[in-house]
Amino acid sequence: MQYQVDLNSDIGESYGAYTIGQDEEVMEFITSANIACGYHAGDHNIIHRTVEMAIDNDVAIGAHPGLQDLIGFGRRPMQISPEEVYQLTIYQIGAVQAFAQVKGYKLHHVKPHGALYNMAVKDAAIAKAIAQAVYDYNSNLILFGLANSELIRMGKEVGLHVANEVFADRTYQPDGSLTPRISSNAMIHDTDEAVERVIRMVKDNKVTAIDGTDVSIIADTICVHGDGPKSLEFSRQLSRELKNQGISIKKVGIHHG
């Protein structure tokens, strides 16, 4: 059987004089870039530079819209209406699209960030607002969302192509959601363990939850974070091991599931 997966990373999250992540180095190993749009991180200079970097590395350009919360890095849940979510999603997609367009390139996908992403996992109204915004902006864009989430369901419902996303360095709850970052066991720090879990997700469509049960999962795209201390080492090792296992690393295309 032929296995194929996309590797994505949330990048362009520096801001002004502050540098976050190892974008340039991680870009060598990924196939899709989720570029911060200025609300949770990033700014006009960073977006411009990150889009150029993606083009130079033949990496798919994606928008990574988040809640308007620079100081909290978009990771704090907010009371926000679906109408406002719709508007802020369109606004931020447009920011990244503009920089791609002046270089003669098209936007490939949209992946919500942080708290907005997590809200859309279970909140159907928020998920629908994001999906509808992406569809209304450009129905050819691919919507990245947590596998088995409301965001994936709503993306399909409005008529978008979707990519089920799994996380290499995060633990899972029995219901298939990610363990909240405030929990001590939210992250997987052992690179070998993370790589093994990813290979199982791609080949067997399963991941072990924190209670030891197996959760069924679809892995169209794997998120590798670019802002951790071991992000570069991990991206390199994951890329190597996937290839060793006969798993092709390619930009996510149209998902028919």
pLDDT in tens, 92-113: 999 999 999 999 999 999 999 9
SS3 content of the chain, % helix, strand, coil (to 5): 40, 20, 40
Specify the number of domains making up the chain: 1
- Please write the tens of the pLDDT for every residue from 77-88: 999 999 999 999
CB count within 10 Å of CB 89 equals 25
Q: Residue 255 falls within a domain, yes or no?
A: no
Region 53-61: mean pLDDT is: 97
Provide the pLDDT for residue 229: 66
The confidence band for 257, taking pLDDT boundaries of 50, 70 and 90, is: very low
Output the pTM of the full model: 0.94
CB 42 within 8 A of CB 21: no
**Does 254 fall in a domain?**
no
Which of the four pLDDT bands, split at 50, 70 and 90, describes residue 228? Answer: low
Residue 256 placed within a domain: no
**Average pLDDT rounded to a whole number, residues 36-47:** 98
**What are phi and psi for residue 146, nearest 5 degrees?**
-60, 130
- Pick the closest to residue 30 from 2, 53, 64 (CA basis): 53
Residue 20's domain comprises 3-249
- Residue 257 belongs to a domain: no
Residue 144: inside a domain: yes
CATH at 23? 3.20.20.370
In a domain, 226, yes or no: yes
pLDDT of residue 118: 94
Residue 155 lies in a domain: yes
**Average pLDDT value over all residues in the chain:** 94
Decide if 91 is inside a domain.
Answer: yes
pLDDT at residue 256 above 90? no
Q: Give the tens place of pLDDT for each residue, 59-76.
A: 999 999 999 999 999 999
